[in-house]
A and B are shown apart, each in its own frame.
Chain A
Amino acid sequence: MDFTFTEEQQMLLDTTRRFVAKDYGFEARRQIKEKSADGFSREIWQGLADIGLLSLNVPEADGGLGGSAIDNMLAMNAVGEGLLLEPYLACAVLATKTLALLGNDAQRAEWLPALAAGEKIVVLAHDEPKTRFDRLAIDTRSWPVGNGYLLTGHKCVVTHAGSADMLLITARIGKADETGPLAVFCVPVDAPGLDKTTYNTVDGVRASDVRLNQVFVPATALLDGGADSEAKIAEVLDFGLAAVCAEAVGALDKLLAATVEYARNRKQFGQPIGKFQALQHRMADMVLHIEQARSMSYLAAVRCTDTDAATRARAMSAAKVVIGQACRFVGQQAVQLHGGMGVTDELDVSHYFKRLMAIELQFGSTDQHLEQYAAQLA
């Protein structure tokens, strides 16, 4: 048993943290959110590329750092602490992982170095309105025509699709009534028949609903996942699930620290509110939730690449349940203990709260994972 990080891993965490602390104060973040065309900063994005973060999930064979899920966990801790608006999860984790796992040589050569360098943004568009409770129940269809495929379907709440150069669209091969294998296609954002509606989400980033109406892509657009495509997509999604668990831990740590600090300083009835035992116990409960969440985020990082399907599924669901409950409890208590200040847009607390609310709904809700876990008890 070993819960220590290697020297390299500690360095990765420190570098990322330092970067976030230096260029990503809460005011700077607000400016970025309100002023930039993408809702995030291209400059910061470049900065993340410069410190190597964008090549973390790019395999060494493709010129990247070939980091592990544990490395990614540490990076995501820092992303959560800084409440980054940049498409780290969408592009550097999910899309990069998809290309690394499913792409053929030509596709990898075309995209991975550009992603690692921060030159291109690609996002994975997977979720659909009806798939909320079953991530493999994809309705988007693709069928061969001439020297390519036509795609039709509806992807919802695709984070950062509005800033992407290319979308990775999951689709089932076959017409509407057939359930063929799941596959991934590279689709340029300006493809005829592709329609995007872009909006802000609760956690302050941009997302889009993407509708595909007989969008044509050449045969070379199909990511060559082979017979294992579905399993590989599941692995990408579990990698993402582990990543948001780690992001949550970063945000939870920040919220607890902010709350304790506030309780030390805010005086009512002639004393710091942190002296009230009722509030002390509440903050102690926050600690319990966070430490349980941290443990489960370790478990998720270790198990998300496990080849045994049942072991992996159980661990992922357990992690998401504990993390989801922590997100809700700690988030709500942080707001509550800040009193009126907690509900304001001005304070960072409400923004962490909203990111945690979103994390609870991403990669399957708490209820859903509890149910999935329960279904495997026997």
Chain B
Amino acid sequence: MDLNFTPEELAFRQEVREFVASSLPPDIQHKVLNGLILQSDDYIRWQKILHAKGWGGASWRKDFGGPGWSATQQYIFEEECAAAGAPRTIPFGLKMVAPVIMQYGSPAQQERFLPKILAAEEWWCQGYSEPGAGSDLASVKTRAVREGDHYVVNGQKTWTTQGQYADWIFCLVRTDTEAKSQRGISFILIDMKTPGITVRPIITMDGAHEVNEVWFEDVRVPVENLVGEENAGWTYAKFLLGHERTNIAGIGIAKREIARLKRIASLETKNRKPLIEDPMFASRIAQIEIDLTALEITNLRVLSAEAERRAPGPEASILKIKGTEIQQAITEALVQAVGTYALPLRREAMAAGYQGDAVGPFYATPLAANYLNMRKLSIYGGSNEIQKNIISQMILGL
């Protein structure tokens, strides 16, 4: 057994680190490292920089324009990007719909969509959830009725992250109402500019506009936008849900945020000494860091067990639960670190370049909003309860 990366992997890490250090725009880095609000353009700019280097699709195969990296290389890449303060890659195009199109899409679809995803020319969003279909995704009701060479789509999607920026949405729709729930579902790609689509904002408790409702009223979608076979969408949906595994634990992000926590805890004081020297607070940080170490090794075990690329097993659920718990614990500790100054909730002051009144230390400004926002981690992408159901069924056979 060897817990060390190979010399090649270390050299790769060095290469990534140097590239990110020299290419990440400082203004974007400043926002990420300080928890300030990012604009859609920040994500697009960074993606274009990566694309120019040939690293746009970290998880993509070479024949589709990716770098063809191993799972470990992808892991290292994500970790280095996160540590340096790069924004997350926008997952909906790159990591969700693209793998489905690569695996099940027609050559025409691959040619039409993949290059634009890689070049950040088209923004995607995910249309899975509906008001009545959350954890029980197979109960989606949005209807798509075939009329000649179009599907006519009616229904409502919800919780659509960044749908307000999206050019395209990939949707689960019901194409057969007679079949048992999983069977009558299809996977289609819809141009957000099609008449009949309405996007309405949902404001979350931190005051952010990140999620939306999307309404479809007699939306006409060409049949060539169906991916794979009609009524076989559930297979593709499951493939997609389980696909992105190298970064599901968010190790890189957690490491970066722990570094921030330590920085803040050394600036804050308790009884006129640095907070980080307080045994109680220090042990709180230590506990989080130790949990993260355990998760990191678990994550690496999962990666190395993956000889070849296949849809991930139930281990992904372990990574998701622990990863989100750790990230949430960090946001809690950050709030505790600044005490009363976590209470002001001032979104305007979370914009880069804010010039208004200062309240409390600069680093305290986004912490409450961040804590509130991160409650979503244990809810979306298959809630942590659902992940536990998966563990008990798939790992324990219960």
Residues of A within 8 A of B (CB): 127, 129-130, 132-134, 156-157, 197, 199-203, 207, 209, 267-270, 276, 278-279, 328, 332, 335-336, 339-340, 342-346, 350-351, 353-354, 357-358, 361-362, 365, 367, 370-371
A39 to chain B, nearest CB (A): 12
Among the 9-residue stretches B104-112, B117-125, B298-306, B343-351, the one with 4 or more Cβ atoms under 8 Å from chain A is B343-351
Q: B385 to A279, Cβ gap below 8 A? A: yes
Q: A200 to B379, Cβ gap below 8 A? A: no
B109 to chain A, nearest CB (A): 30
**Which residues of chain A come closer than 8 Å to B384, judged between CB atoms?**
336
Q: Which of A339, A346, A354 contacts B202 (CB 8 A)?
A: A346
**Which residues of chain A come closer than 8 Å to B359, judged between CB atoms?**
197, 199, 209
**Which residues of chain B come closer than 8 Å to A361, judged between CB atoms?**
335-336, 339-340, 342-343
**Which residues of chain B come closer than 8 Å to A129, judged between CB atoms?**
340-341, 360
Q: B360 to A354, Cβ gap below 8 A? A: no
Among the 9-residue stretches B188-196, B247-255, B266-274, the one with 4 or more Cβ atoms under 8 Å from chain A is B266-274
Q: A199 to B346, Cβ gap below 8 A? A: yes
B307 to chain A, nearest CB (A): 34
Q: B339 to A365, Cβ gap below 8 A? A: yes
CA distance A358 to B343 in the complex (A): 7
Q: B202 to A344, Cβ gap below 8 A? A: yes
A191 to chain B, nearest CB (A): 20
B386 to chain A, nearest CB (A): 10
Question: Can you name 14 extra interface pairs (CB under 8 A) apart from A133-B271, A197-B359, A278-B388?
Answer: A134-B271, A202-B344, A268-B134, A340-B134, A340-B379, A343-B204, A343-B379, A344-B204, A344-B205, A345-B207, A346-B202, A361-B339, A365-B339, A367-B336
Q: B357 to A197, Cβ gap below 8 A? A: yes
Q: B271 to A350, Cβ gap below 8 A? A: no
Q: B345 to A202, Cβ gap below 8 A? A: yes
Determine if B30 is an interface residue (Cβ-Cβ < 8 Å): no
**Which residues of chain B come closer than 8 Å to A328, judged between CB atoms?**
332
CA distance A66 to B98 in the complex (A): 70
- Could you say which of B269, B271, B345, B389 has the most chain A C-beta atoms within 10 Å of its C-beta? B345
B79 to chain A, nearest CB (A): 28
Report whether over half of chain B's contact residues are helix, strand or loop; otherwise say mixed: mixed
CA distance A169 to B344 in the complex (A): 20
**Which residues of chain B come closer than 8 Å to A365, judged between CB atoms?**
336, 339
Contact flag A156-B341 (CB < 8 Å), given A278-B385, A339-B135, A339-B383: yes
**Which residues of chain B come closer than 8 Å to A207, judged between CB atoms?**
343-344
B377 to chain A, nearest CB (A): 10
Nearest neighbor of A130 in chain B, beta-carbon distance: B269
Nearest neighbor of A279 in chain B, beta-carbon distance: B385
B309 to chain A, nearest CB (A): 31
Nearest neighbor of A127 in chain B, beta-carbon distance: B340
Nearest neighbor of A354 in chain B, beta-carbon distance: B205
CA distance A353 to B375 in the complex (A): 11
Nearest neighbor of B268 in chain A, beta-carbon distance: A132
Q: B375 to A332, Cβ gap below 8 A? A: yes
**Which residues of chain A come closer than 8 Å to B62, judged between CB atoms?**
none
B37 to chain A, nearest CB (A): 17
**Which residues of chain A come closer than 8 Å to B204, judged between CB atoms?**
343-345, 350
Q: B372 to A202, Cβ gap below 8 A? A: yes
Q: A132 to B344, Cβ gap below 8 A? A: no
Nearest neighbor of A209 in chain B, beta-carbon distance: B359
Closest 4 CB pairs of A and B: A350-B205, A132-B339, A268-B136, A202-B345
Q: A336 to B134, Cβ gap below 8 A? A: no
